[in-house]
Amino acid sequence: MNLGKTKAAMWVEEPTGDFLKVGFRADKVLFSGKSEFQSVDVIETRGHGKMLLNDGLVMLTERDEFIYHDMITHVPMFTHPNPKSVLVIGGGDGGTAREVLRHKGVESVVMVEIDGMVVDACKEFIPQTASDLSNPKLELIIGDGVDYVATTKKKFDVVIVDSTDPIGPATPLFGTEFYQNIKNILNDDGIVVSQAESPFYFAETQQSLLGIIGGLFPIATIYNFNNMGYPGGFWSFTFASKGPHPTKDFKAARVKESGLDFGYYNEDIHHAAFCLPSFQKRNLAEKIKG
Ligand code: SAM
């Protein structure tokens, strides 16, 4: 974490490459640790509530985490006709598991997070996201998601890859073998969505991910959302499916029937998220399938 201090103020600064730096006014460092995988920090910010950083990169802020967690969760959960078993890879802050568990039809969730320090820090300092990590439907495994998908005998309706950027232990989460293994453990109408970086700053990562899932699944596409915490604010998730199409098979009525309310997600956003700006369409034109 880069803590820039001036006489008057403390700032958390997140660099992107050597060309961009985003700063958040910080009031207090609540937790600072180094696990065998990464550094983990929790900061009380002035404008965004508590913030989690891994290796100095913003994972979430309390103020806008609902956007990311709504979109990574409810898009696949409302596309799949009846998701009962869900696997979350990463997601140690608990926000994705919290949203999955709001779906009444869900019978079991497995969450595989490599770093126990992230989970413990969030349980202690960010209960807003970690509140449901003791839910009896949730099996929390502290381990490598890459190994888990290669070895588990369980099958899933929805897999959500809520990972850090493709560095350190998350690097293989952006590779072909990982997605081949996910395909093997998905049921026939299964869906996998993944954190897919910025269409603007990480266009090559998006090309690579789309190429991988497009080579394995009949439906492979990408959808966007805006948040305040990540560089540029404009971000994406990839979507791959063995069956259900994210817009053609989406039954909007199910959203109302669920009785759930959301801060960001709704029936219109579900459709709109798959409408891509021209520069991103051009970048991915060859790779989008279905
Ligand atoms: N919303 C966040 C973002 O996109 O910046 C991601 C949040 S969550 C904190 C990401 C988690 O993925 C981290 O806690 C990290 O430890 C975990 N992770 C990274 N590589 C992993 C792996 N191979 N298996 C399981 N979890 C992994």
Tell me which architecture the domain covering 2-61 has in CATH.
Roll (2.30)
Give the 3-state DSSP-derived string for 241-265, with helices as H, strands as E and coil as C.
ECCCCCCCCCCCHHHHHCCCCCCCC
The pLDDT value given to residue 24: 96
pLDDT digits (tens, 9 = 90+) for 138-165: 999 999 999 999 999 999 999 999 999 8
Q: How far apart are CA 269 and CA 167, in angstroms?
A: 30
Q: Where in the chain is the domain with CATH 3.40.50.150?
A: 65-284
Q: How far apart are CA 174 and CA 137, in angstroms?
A: 28
Q: Which two tokens stand for residue 13?
A: 């600064």
Selected catalytic residue, list 64, 70, 162, 165: 162
Confidence label for 7 from pLDDT (cuts 50, 70 and 90): low
CB 36 within 8 A of CB 20: no
pLDDT digits (tens, 9 = 90+) for 195-222: 999 999 999 999 999 999 999 999 999 9
Class (C level, CATH) for 65-284: alpha beta
Annotation marks residue 165 as catalytic = no
For range 228-236, the mean pLDDT: 94
Q: Where in the chain is the domain with CATH 2.30.140.10?
A: 2-61
CB 102 within 8 A of CB 132: no
Q: What is the percent of the chain where pLDDT is above 90? A: 94
Q: How far apart are CA 255 and CA 258, in angstroms?
A: 5
CB 90 within 8 A of CB 159: no
CB 209 within 8 A of CB 174: yes
The pLDDT value given to residue 253: 97
By most ligand atoms within 8 Å of CB, the mutation choice from 48, 114, 133, 144 for ligand 1 is: 114
Q: Does ligand 1 have an atom closer than 6 angstroms to the CB of 26?
A: no
Q: Does ligand 1 have an atom closer than 6 angstroms to the CB of 129?
A: no
The pLDDT value given to residue 2: 72
* CA contacts within 13 A on the Cβ side of 234: 11
Tell if the pTM clears 0.85, that is, is over it: yes
Atom of ligand 1 nearest to the CA of 40: 14
For range 28-33, the mean pLDDT: 98
Give the 3-state DSSP-derived string for 145-157, with helices as H, strands as E and coil as C.
HHHHHHHCCCCEE
Instruction: Give the Å distance between the CA of 163 and the centre of ligand 1.
Output: 4
**Amino acid at the residue 267:** E
Q: Which two tokens stand for residue 271?
A: 């459709």
pLDDT digits (tens, 9 = 90+) for 158-201: 999 999 988 889 999 999 999 999 999 999 999 999 999 999 99
Q: Does ligand 1 have an atom closer than 6 angstroms to the CB of 164?
A: yes
Burial level of 53, CB count in 10 A (0-12/13-18/19+)?
A: buried
Q: Which long-range contacts (CB under 8 A, 24 or more apart) does 209-216 make?
A: 209/174, 209/238, 210/238, 210/284, 210/287, 210/288, 211/287, 212/174, 212/175, 212/176, 212/179, 213/179, 213/238, 213/240, 214/240, 214/287, 214/288, 214/289, 215/176, 216/176, 216/179, 216/180, 216/183, 216/240
CB 52 within 8 A of CB 41: yes
Q: Does ligand 1 have an atom closer than 6 angstroms to the CB of 77?
A: no
Interior CA angle at 189 toward 169 and 146, to 5°?
Answer: 15
Q: How far apart are CA 97 and CA 111, in angstroms?
A: 7
By most ligand atoms within 8 Å of CB, the mutation choice from 34, 37, 60, 113 for ligand 1 is: 113
Q: Residue 290: pLDDT above 80?
A: yes
